[in-house]
Structure 1
Amino acid sequence: MKKTDLAKNDAKKLMNKMVQGGPSFGNAASAGVDKREQRKRDQALGLVPFAVKLNGDLVKRLQTLATERGVDMNTLVADVLAKGLDN
């Protein structure tokens, strides 16, 4: 076989995988839609993404507190910040 024939065969295999809709293509599309929908829900609730860098020990304390209270990190951090700002 020539080198060009090998390249053509590889291209055909790739095209067949794309047409069949392999798991990687299907999962990527559905994950993108879910993130977009989540952003719309967050915006409707008035939530704004807010990234900060924290000390690792502080993060562990926050994770422990969130587990003890049975809430997610977003809720816990919002509560802690609100209480801290009220003082």
Structure 2
Amino acid sequence: MKKTDLAKSDAKKLMGQMGPKGGNFGAASAAAPDRRAQRERERALGLVPFAVKLDSELAGRLQQLAREGDGDMNQLVADLLRQGLAAK
């Protein structure tokens, strides 16, 4: 192994990018969520992805409120939006 290849290998080990974590490859890949199926379930529920950019202070407050509640950020934001829109 060349010196540069060894350095690359060491860097990958440090970054945790060498192979799957915690066992053999087949078990790790089977545990990964099926994103397509998840999108279909969400679409059936009428959920639509909605991305916004927030400043870090506001995002932090939302995360804190989600932790204090049931921990579901999606539901928290939906509830807050409903309350805000109802007040208009």
Range class of TM-score, shorter chain: 0.5 to 0.7
Contiguous gaps of at least 5 residues in structure 1? 1-21
Cα displacement (A) at 1:30: 6.6
Cα displacement (A) at 1:23: 2.0
Aligned to 1:39: 39
Q: CA offsets, 1:25-54, max 9 Å, x none?
A: x72x874x6111110000000000000000
Aligned to 2:78: 78
**RMSD, aligned α-carbons:** 2.0
Matches within 5 A, 1:1-87: 23=25, 27=29, 31=32, 34-87=34-87
The alignment-based identity, stated in percent, is: 56
Structure 1: 4+ residue segments shifted above 6 A: none
Cα displacement (A) at 1:71: 3.1
Q: TM-score, normalised by structure 2?
A: 0.63
Contiguous gaps of at least 5 residues in structure 2? 1-23
The letter for the 1-side match of 2:35 is: K
Between the two proteins, the alignment pairs up a number of residues equal to 63
**Larger relative contact order (CA 8 Å, sep ≥ 6):** 1
